[in-house]
Chains A and B, each alone.
Chain A
Amino acid sequence: MAHAMAAFTEKVVAEVIEVQEFPDMGNSYQVRGVPLTVINEKYSFTGAANEQMLLDHLKNAISQAHEGES
């Protein structure tokens, strides 16, 4: 779903990481379950997300980032 968003706009960068191949990344992001989604290196959630759920998480992540700035 993130890929579909990235296909719509270059403002979204979507990266899928096969964690068994890069266990060091799994450790540094503390991956305990998959899929784990990390937005802008700060906001994360575990579990499959449909379009609406990902959109809600995206809005939350951006909103939290703005709150942190103010």
Chain B
Amino acid sequence: MQILNDSDREFVRNRFENELVNEVNLILFTQSDLGGLVVPGRECETCAPTEQLLKDAEEAARCGISRIPSFLVSREDETNIRYLGIPAGTEFPVLMEALVNVSSGEPKLAEETKAFLQTLTDEVLIKTFVTPN
């Protein structure tokens, strides 16, 4: 299923070609394929899915993810830019902006904002609740 129409795809391609600087990761947390190999005589149908579930849960906890679908935007192993749900409609440009900001490493912020952010000593959690339209 194609989510973006042709003109949107062209717009996105052009923007990313011009503005993405470094590699940026999109790490998606979703449901895993829990199918497993069953060896005749040594059936353990739940071993593989159990192992996968534990691995997924461990990684999700490290990244502060408690819901699916969710994803992280990062350059290396940062976990502080998260999106819970599908970034559809008016939220899609927000995702594009996040990708550009992370990729460049130089988000477009005023000097006053940067100066204030540099004074932060404790973590600040900003949750923004949105709808797709």
Q: Which residues of A contact B (CB under 8 A)?
A: 2-22, 25-26, 29, 31, 34-41, 51-52, 55, 58-59, 61-62
B49 beta carbon closer than 8 Å to chain A: no
Cβ-neighbour of A15 out of B108, B117, B118, B125 (below 8 A): B125
The smallest C-beta distance from A51 to any residue of chain B, in angstroms, reads 6
CA distance A8 to B117 in the complex (A): 8
Q: Specify which chain A residues have a CB less than 8 angstroms from the CB of B129 in the assembled complex.
A: 17, 19, 25-26, 29, 31, 34-38
| Binding site secondary structure of chain B | mixed
23 A-B pairs whose Cβ atoms sit less than 8 Å apart in the complex = A3-B94, A4-B101, A5-B109, A5-B126, A7-B101, A13-B64, A13-B82, A14-B80, A16-B83, A18-B86, A18-B88, A20-B85, A20-B131, A21-B84, A22-B85, A29-B127, A35-B128, A37-B129, A38-B129, A39-B125, A39-B127, A58-B126, A59-B116
Q: Specify which chain A residues have a CB less than 8 angstroms from the CB of B120 in the assembled complex.
A: 9, 11-12
The smallest C-beta distance from B90 to any residue of chain A, in angstroms, reads 10
Using an 8 Å CB-CB cutoff, how does the interface string of B67-107 with A read, 1 for contact, 0 for none? 10100010000101111111110010010011001100101
Q: Specify which chain A residues have a CB less than 8 angstroms from the CB of B117 in the assembled complex.
A: 5, 8-9, 11-12
B124 beta carbon closer than 8 Å to chain A: yes
Query: Would A3 and B84 be within 8 Å (CB), given that A13-B125, A35-B129, A55-B113 are in contact?
Result: no
The interface size bin for chain B is 35 or more
Q: Specify which chain B residues have a CB less than 8 angstroms from the CB of A38 in the assembled complex.
A: 126-129
Q: Specify which chain B residues have a CB less than 8 angstroms from the CB of A22 in the assembled complex.
A: 67, 84-85
- The residue in chain B whose Cβ has the minimal distance to the Cβ of A2 is B126
Q: Report whether A36 and B128 are in contact in the complex, using a CB–CB cutoff of 8 Å.
A: yes
Cβ-neighbour of B78 out of A10, A17, A19, A51 (below 8 A): A10
B132 beta carbon closer than 8 Å to chain A: yes
Cβ-neighbour of B73 out of A2, A3, A41 (below 8 A): A3
Q: Report whether A2 and B128 are in contact in the complex, using a CB–CB cutoff of 8 Å.
A: yes
